[in-house]
Amino acid sequence: MYQIFVYNPQLVPYVQDIQLRMDNYTKTRQRLLGSQESLSDFANAHLYFGIHHTDDGWVYREWAPAAEALHLLGEFNDWNPASHPMTNLGNGVWELVLPGKKALWQGCRVKTMVTYQGKTSDHIPLYAQRVVQDKETLQWCAEVVDDKKKFRWADKRFKPQDPPLIYEAHVGMAQEEERVGTYREFADLILPRIKADGYNTIQLMAIMEHPYYGSFGYQVSNFFAASSWFGTPEDLKYLVNTAHKMGIRVLLDLIHSHAVKNTAEGINEFDGTTWQFFHDGPKGDHPAWGTKLFNYGKTEVLHFLLSNLKFWMEEFHFDGFRFDGVTSMLYLDHGLGSDFDHNSKYFSMNTDTEAVTYLQLANELIHELKPSAITVAEDMSGMPGMCLPISAGGIGFDYRLGMGLPDLWIRTIKEKRDEDWNIEEIWSSICLRRPGEKTVAYVESHDQALVGDKTLMFRLADAAMYTDMDKETHNLVIDRAVALHKLIRLLTMASGGDAYLNFMGNEFGHPEWIDFPREGNQWSFKYCRRQWSLADNGFLKYQWLGDFDKAMISMAREWDIFQQDMPHLNRIHNQDHILAFERNQVLFVFNFHPTQSFTDYVIPVTYPTDYRLILSSDEKRFGGYDRIADMQYSAYQPGMEGNWLKLYLPARTAAVLVPVFEDEPKKTTRRRKKAATEKENSDSDKKTLSKKNTGSGKKAEAKVKTDSVKKSATKKASKPRKESKTKNEADSEIKTDSKTKADSAE
């Protein structure tokens, strides 16, 4: 029996469906490989098809099974549609050999003319590696890339860090000026920011070529072309190479769930038919997106898509992928309007078993090519086994996005007054994930930042963001927004998953929404950029939020909190709005009460030793008041058996504490020394960035202060004392500003 049933015994009634999943995978794999030994041997379509520079000249090949004739035309033949016909080699393969090294050249513009049923149409070559738009005619065509010219990589010794702390980014909107940014600007100006903030992974959006800039890169036309919106393929390689030299992993936001329906710019109807790559008829059209849907049961389609994965990993050294639109792939109704409230919804005639098989093969190939690579599934359905190994009956992803978490916070903020928040429900929702499967936790991604939605900070502060974000201005709405922004992000990161994601700029509460240039806004870039100066100028509260995010990420890295799969709940109290839990020895305590502060609030802990404060949302450097003392707190309370801390918990604050041990492991000590050094270096980087920033506004002149890492050890830990106090006895020790409160749950 597959291990998926050990993690999910409720799936035993669906044992035949899991077996069908595995049989489909085995049969398809055998069909694809034949005598080849691995998927890597199979996924080489890009090395055969497309335009290649040979020792004797050039060769161009295409797969177009329904076409009657193909011709190559371009600058090399003055766009003559008849002078360079291609030869039909059989099985839908066409070839053109061009003798002479100067027959084509780097940057030579070309198109393919296809004849189908007596009619001709011009197309972009399927395996084009560079596609550009003519500024005058606005038409797109391919540019030849000379594959004999090799980029000099300097990332041979790069080793990605785990767990991934992901910074989701869009290259074009990463600059403060109202224009499209470039790959090199991102590498030189934005990567140092990301490094200084502590993130070890970037997830790049809109890299695959897309004709419409406002699609956010999700309507792909040319699958092997790095988007020319931001520069050349060499520029993208420079970005990845620079990231690797900084120790940053690079993920590609991959779109294999659909393709743009354009025929002149995209792959649709390349050979004259819709069914070359896609399903024919309504099954091949996405009803909500207006795009084309792949036929994952077709060998040639699998050859194209799997080779595409290998191309991005080998040609551009990407370290993995975020698979977009996985829910749409998994179900024939694309999950539109479906409530996945029963296991039967995952295993029915609505399940696209061919798409499931493709995802298994894709994950096998990716990890075969690079064992350290990671894959992330954007699936809101909760498909069982998504992030279990294929051998366990799973689909093979490393992580799934915790897509319920943003919805949780949106519902809570929109539908409930602060005093009505149900802490038990929040905790239950945050910890709801499938056993054995890893989740990327996040409060907001690009989805929440788009026009029509609101970011967390914008939802909390609304119009007051425009008038009251100056540090010298006091506003209760902003005070609440700043406090909850810190608490919600800390809680989500610390308990919501096994990795963490943040969208570019949201770490400091970037105002407003993202609105790409379009006719409706007079093609303006005003809301399609990142205003870094808001966090850098030193006068606005955005700096506080950015500094807290940096400290939060640093704490997570230093204390390896994700080593423990699930947090351990220490205390929860709905009426008091108190939540306390431990993860990998680190104690997190939250007071979400909007008005009530607590003195000597009793929190049970694991270790019979002192605890020291390592992070507080109430620190002055984060816009707080330093009301939580930076000191050591004893877990020994006279007259109480067990280990208890007494803490002062101001309203809307969080405190993070760790036990103090006399004999800390040398590895831990080295790790903390390294973390301290990284803090100093990142602060220096931050100061340098203020000078290099291309945005407008005053730059912060003062170096951002950070915590020094204290290593005091005053008590030696012994065996944990038995926790024998009753709930009522413990509650009798809690002193509040008004009255003694009773515990609702422990």
Q: What pLDDT, in 10s, does the model give residues 223-236?
A: 999 999 999 999 99
Pick the more confident residue, 595 or 641. Answer: 595
How far apart are the C-alpha atoms of 123 and 72, rounded to whole Å? 10
- The pLDDT assigned to 497 comes to 97
Please report which confidence band the pLDDT of residue 338 belongs to, taking 50, 70 and 90 as the band edges.
Answer: confident
- Write a three-state SS string for 633-654: EECCCCCCCCCEEEEEECCCEE
Tens of pLDDT, residue by residue over 593-626, are 999 999 999 999 999 999 999 999 999 999 999 9
Helix pair 476-495, 542-558: axis angle to 10 deg: 20
Tracing tokens 């140092």 back to the chain, one arrives at 192
Tell me the one-letter amino acid at 288: A
- The pLDDT assigned to 512 comes to 85
3-class DSSP state for residue 419?
helix
- The pLDDT assigned to 735 comes to 35
Query: In this structure, what token pair is assigned to residue 457?
Result: 């900070």
- The pLDDT assigned to 400 comes to 97
Q: At a CB cut-off of 8 Å and minimum separation 6, what does 351 contact?
A: 330, 331, 332
- The pLDDT assigned to 388 comes to 98
Cα atoms in the 13 Å half-sphere on the side-chain side of 308: 25
Positive or negative CA dihedral for 84, 88, 89, 92? positive
Q: Which of 62, 265, 271, 324 is catalytic?
A: 324
Tell me the one-letter amino acid at 739: K
3-class DSSP state for residue 191?
helix
- Residue 254 has φ and ψ, to the nearest 5°, of -95, 135
Tens of pLDDT, residue by residue over 12-55, are 999 999 999 999 999 999 999 988 889 999 999 999 999 999 99
Q: How is residue 659 annotated by DSSP?
A: E
CA–CA distances in Å: residue 381 to residues 325, 339, 346, 350, 714: 11, 8, 8, 13, 49
Please report which confidence band the pLDDT of residue 337 belongs to, taking 50, 70 and 90 as the band edges.
Answer: confident
Q: Is the pLDDT of residue 691 over 80?
A: no
3-class DSSP state for residue 351?
strand
Nearest to 550 by CA among 686, 420, 671: 686
- Residue 539 has φ and ψ, to the nearest 5°, of -105, -10
Q: Cα–Cα–Cα angle for 630, 632, 638, nearest 5°?
A: 135
Q: Is the pLDDT of residue 678 over 60?
A: no
Please report which confidence band the pLDDT of residue 662 belongs to, taking 50, 70 and 90 as the band edges.
Answer: confident
Q: Is 378 a catalytic residue?
A: yes
Please report which confidence band the pLDDT of residue 703 belongs to, taking 50, 70 and 90 as the band edges.
Answer: very low
Nearest to 634 by CA among 616, 621, 653, 647: 647
Pick the more confident residue, 676 or 220. Answer: 220
3-class DSSP state for residue 595?
coil
Q: How far is residue 663 CA from its own chain's centroid?
A: 38
- The pLDDT assigned to 513 comes to 84
Tell me the one-letter amino acid at 257: S
Please report which confidence band the pLDDT of residue 704 belongs to, taking 50, 70 and 90 as the band edges.
Answer: very low
3-class DSSP state for residue 82?
coil
**Cis amide prior to 163 (ω within 30 degrees):** yes
How far apart are the C-alpha atoms of 373 and 394, rounded to whole Å? 17
* Mean pLDDT, residues 635-646: 90
Pair 46, 80: CB distance under 8 Å: no
Q: Is the pLDDT of residue 163 over 80?
A: yes
CA–CA distances in Å: residue 287 to residues 213, 284, 293, 340, 557: 21, 9, 10, 20, 43
Query: In this structure, what token pair is assigned to residue 683?
Result: 């602060």
Q: Is the pLDDT of residue 121 over 80?
A: yes
CA–CA distances in Å: residue 558 to residues 5, 194, 548, 552, 610: 35, 17, 15, 10, 19
Tens of pLDDT, residue by residue over 205-260, are 999 999 988 888 899 999 999 999 999 999 999 999 999 999 999 999 999 999 99
Pair 182, 171: CB distance under 8 Å: yes
Pair 364, 390: CB distance under 8 Å: yes
Cα atoms in the 13 Å half-sphere on the side-chain side of 443: 27
- The pLDDT assigned to 606 comes to 96
Q: Which of 176, 209, 378, 547 is catalytic?
A: 378
Cα atoms in the 13 Å half-sphere on the side-chain side of 190: 29
Please give the share of the chain, as a percent, with pLDDT higher than 70: 88
Please give the share of the chain, as a percent, with pLDDT higher than 90: 81
- Write a three-state SS string for 298-328: CHHHHHHHHHHHHHHHHHCCCCEEEECCHHH
Tens of pLDDT, residue by residue over 464-506, are 999 999 999 999 999 999 999 999 999 999 999 999 999 999 9
Query: In this structure, what token pair is assigned to residue 527?
Result: 């809301």
How far apart are the C-alpha atoms of 255 and 215, rounded to whole Å? 12
Please report which confidence band the pLDDT of residue 698 belongs to, taking 50, 70 and 90 as the band edges.
Answer: very low
Query: In this structure, what token pair is assigned to residue 244?
Result: 């690797």
Q: How is residue 189 annotated by DSSP?
A: I
Q: Is the pLDDT of residue 376 over 90?
A: yes
Tracing tokens 């506003």 back to the chain, one arrives at 475
Please report which confidence band the pLDDT of residue 741 belongs to, taking 50, 70 and 90 as the band edges.
Answer: very low
Please report which confidence band the pLDDT of residue 451 belongs to, taking 50, 70 and 90 as the band edges.
Answer: low
Q: For the chain, how many residues are written? A: 746
3-class DSSP state for residue 143?
strand
Query: In this structure, what token pair is assigned to residue 421?
Result: 């928040």
Q: Is the pLDDT of residue 743 over 60?
A: no
- The pLDDT assigned to 664 comes to 56
Cα atoms in the 13 Å half-sphere on the side-chain side of 479: 13
Task: Count the neighbouring beta carbons within 10 Å of the beta carbon of residue 547.
Answer: 22
Q: Is the pLDDT of residue 723 over 70?
A: no
Q: How far is residue 487 CA from its own chain's centroid?
A: 21
3-class DSSP state for residue 549?
helix
Query: In this structure, what token pair is assigned to residue 234?
Result: 């060499």
Tens of pLDDT, residue by residue over 454-475, are 889 999 999 999 999 999 999 9
Bridge partner residues of 349 (DSSP): none
Pick the more confident residue, 189 or 684. Answer: 189
Tens of pLDDT, residue by residue over 165-178, are 999 999 999 999 99
Mean residue pLDDT across the chain: 89
Please report which confidence band the pLDDT of residue 728 belongs to, taking 50, 70 and 90 as the band edges.
Answer: very low
Task: Classify residue 264 as left (phi > 0), alpha (psi -120 to 50) or beta.
Answer: alpha
- The pLDDT assigned to 453 comes to 73
* Mean pLDDT, residues 107-118: 98
Dihedral (C-alpha) 548, 550, 553, 555: value to the nearest 10 degrees?
-70
Bridge partner residues of 128 (DSSP): none
- The pLDDT assigned to 744 comes to 33
Query: In this structure, what token pair is assigned to residue 327?
Result: 């829910």
Pair 570, 605: CB distance under 8 Å: yes
Nearest to 260 by CA among 212, 296, 302, 299: 212
Q: Cα–Cα–Cα angle for 322, 328, 333, nearest 5°?
A: 170
Q: Is the pLDDT of residue 736 over 70?
A: no
- The pLDDT assigned to 599 comes to 97
Instruction: With 0.85 as the threshold, say if the pTM is over it.
Output: yes
Tens of pLDDT, residue by residue over 261-282, are 999 999 999 999 999 999 999 9
Q: Is the pLDDT of residue 686 over 60?
A: no
